[in-house]
Each structure stands twice: as structure tokens, then as C-alpha cells.
Chains A and B, each alone.
Chain A
Amino acid sequence: MKFGVEFVPREPFWRAVLYTVEAERLGFDYVWVTDHYNNRNVFTTLTATAIHTKSIKLGIGVTNPYIRHPAATASATASLAEIAPDRVALGIGAGDRATLEGIGIGIVKPLSAIKESVYIIRELLAGKPVSFDGSIFKVKSASLNFKCRSYIPIYIGAQGPQMLSLAGEIGDGVLINASHPEDFKYAVEYVRKGVEKSSRDIKSIDIAAYTAFSVAEDEAKAIAASKQVVAFIVAGSPEAVLERHGINLESASRIRELIVSGRFDEAFNSVTMDMIDAFSVSGSPSSVAKRVEECLKAGVTQFVVGSPIGPQPYEAMKIIGSKIIPTFKAG
């Protein structure tokens, strides 16, 4: 099992870099940095990170084909790989609807957009000239003026059945935004369907669990730290997903209403333990280790700890580095 950590570059760049320096020392294999126009830029943050780290893999986690043209993504990713050869992974997904719509960008034909983007990016990274007439992207004799120094695996951010299947068909990896083993069992089946179409082995695909994670020696504190993120997940989840986890639809609807009306504290206090269990990995070191084990059995090959990580993120990272990662690396 590989371990990754996700950072949202909301703070000055140096703190994300310092966190990553520590993550590398603590045994994490990957850092994934999110890509939203309103935060620090993902490529700038990862460039600084590349300079100050030696071995941790640097993941763009994840960009989308709407905010940045795939040719521009190929160029930025290859440039990063020039600084950190064999350490760059590119995550690409449909994007966050609310953030994109806020700047007038619609998510159009996400499956086609991802499929076409992955083709264009791969060809450009391989040093080939690209001419392509797709339903979203049209490219005429495009090429990079420099050679990409190493192979860059492409991970597809996926949640729905069709995107999961596409990830299995064309991705080197898949980043699944979920936290419960049942969700990963469900997802892996669709990834497997895509893998079968491409005549590959599912073992060649890195199946990454992009979890909402919170650990602390004090279980109650770890759970309390997850309530905020879980409230937002519950509010944004389709009914089918809530029903799959046995979440009371009325309670979920109430949380949604509270968030929409800006009554955040009430929304966070309405989060129940079954919601915490369904949409986060939260608790003491031993209880989260058990959940990691269940995810491994469900087919996950990379476990990414995402926001909040813990009531005190640095302390949480030290717990993960000392008590969780060694358990799964030893085998």
C-alpha cells in the first residue's frame, strides 16, 4: 500500500512545502496538491516542493480540462518533470462545478473532455505532434518545443460509473473521492470493466482512495475535526449515495438547508456518527488503521489522507508516519 497526503494550497506556499518536507521524512510516497483558481497555483506550489524534496512523488490532484487547455497542462506538467524527473503524477477530473461556474465556465461533456484531454496530453508528453478533431478540443499540429524527461502517469479523478470505467480504460491510476470500503468495492467494479475493455491487468492501475481523514490519540477530537467536511459532503451527495450508506434523507436535507442559509455551526452539529462513518476515516490510530486495512481489501492500492487529516494536522501526520504507514509497509 502506498500512502499520499493531500494539501489545499490556501496558505503561503512555504507552509505546504514544509509540510511536504515533513511528509517525505515520515514515509509518505505521494503529495497531492489541489487545483482551484482561487488558491495558490498548483504548479507553482509543486515547483517549490520539487526543489526542497528528494523522493516524494508530486501529484497534481486534480486539474480539469476546462480551466486549462490540455496542451497547457502538458507543458506545465513536463516543465515540472524537468525539475523532478520520475516524480510527477498528473491527476485530471471533471472539475468542481461550483468553482468553475463562478467564473463562467461550464462543465460540458465531461467524459469526452477527459478522454480527449488524456489523449492530447499523452501524445504531447511523448514528444509527438498532435492533430486532433474532437468534440471538445481541436488541435492542429501541436507539439512541445522541449522533451519531457520522464513518463508521467495520468490519474483520473472519478466518482460516477462511467468516469470510473473510463479511468480503468485509459488511466494509469484513478483517484476516487470516497472514504468507505463499500464505496471502493463499488468503484473498483467499474474500474475493472474499463480495464477489461483495454485488455490490461487491473494490477497495472493505481487505485487511490482520496479520503477525508482525521486521526488523533483522542478519538472524540478526531471525529469532531471531521464534522465540517462531512457536513459539506452530505450536503452535496446524491440521494443514491446517501441511501447506499443508510443515511436518513431528511437529516441530510436539513444539513443542506442549514449550509445554504449560512447556519454553519448548526449544520456541523447536525452531523451524525453514521455520516462520519460513511464519508470520512476518523478516529484513533487503531480505528483508522482498521479502516485502511478494509480499503486495502476492497482493492485500494494508494491511501491518500485528505483534509482535515486531524484536529492538529502536523500531529496527525506524525501519528500516520509512526503508527500507520509502518504497519502497511512492513508486509
Chain B
Amino acid sequence: MSRCRISKKYIDEALSIILQGKGASKVPSDKALNLLRYASEGKLSSIPGFRSLIEVLEFMDPEKARDIMSKCNLRREV
């Protein structure tokens, strides 16, 4: 299992857009619930937790999601 952790800066950047940006109604509930689970467990900085954040961001601001993913050297899971 990966021990990698994502920098707080990127989590905060994604979280800010998710909490304040437009398009929240486009997010499917399964993706939103997945994000809530990681957020409430304080695990957004884990790789799967951060992916859940990015998966939600992709529905709200896909360009920003790609930008943050590349800054973190993460690839989209297919």
C-alpha cells in the first residue's frame, strides 16, 4: 500500500473550489458520498482520499482537476 501523502496546498486548492465553486449539482451522489467518507475520516491527504476529491472536482471544474492532478504527478485512473 502506498504511503504517499498529498501536500496540504493541493488539497486546500481543490477543497476551496469544491466548497465555493459552481456545479455542485452535477456531482453524482456516489462520488460525493465517497468524498465525504474520506473527508470525515481525515484521509484526504491519502492517495485514494485525494482521488475522491479530484473525482468530484472533475464534475465542477474539469480543467482545474487536470491541472491539480498534473501538479501532483497523479494520473487519472481508468
Contact = CB atoms under 8 A, between A and B. Distances in A.
A313 B20 contact: yes
Given A18-B39, A52-B39, A52-B40, A11 B20 contact: no
B25 interface: yes
A14 interface: yes
A149 B5 CA distance: 39
A24 B25 CA distance: 24
B42 to A, nearest CB: 8
Contacts of A17: 36
Interface in B17-34: 18-20, 24-25, 27, 29, 32-33
Main SS class of interface, B = helix
A15 B36 CA distance: 9
Contacts of A314: 15-16, 19-20
Contacts of B16: 312, 314-315
A12 B27 contact: yes
Contacts of A312: 16, 20
Interface residues of B, number: 17
B56 to A, nearest CB: 8
Contacts of A15: 18-19, 24
Interface string B32-58: 110111011010000000000000000
Contact of B18 (A18, A48, A315): A18
Contacts of B32: 12, 14
Interface in A20-65: 21-22, 25, 48, 52-54
A19 interface: yes
Contact of A21 (B25, B27, B33, B39): B39
A13 to B, nearest CB: 8
A88 B27 CA distance: 29
Interface in A301-331: 312-315
A313 B19 contact: yes
Contact of A18 (B29, B35, B42): B35
A11 B15 CA distance: 16
B19 A14 contact: no
B36 A52 contact: yes
A23 B40 CA distance: 11
Given A18-B36, A22-B39, A25-B42, 16 more contacts: A12-B24, A12-B27, A12-B32, A14-B36, A15-B18, A15-B24, A17-B36, A18-B19, A18-B35, A21-B40, A22-B15, A22-B19, A48-B36, A52-B39, A312-B20, A314-B16
Interface of B: 15-16, 18-20, 24-25, 27, 29, 32-33, 35-37, 39-40, 42
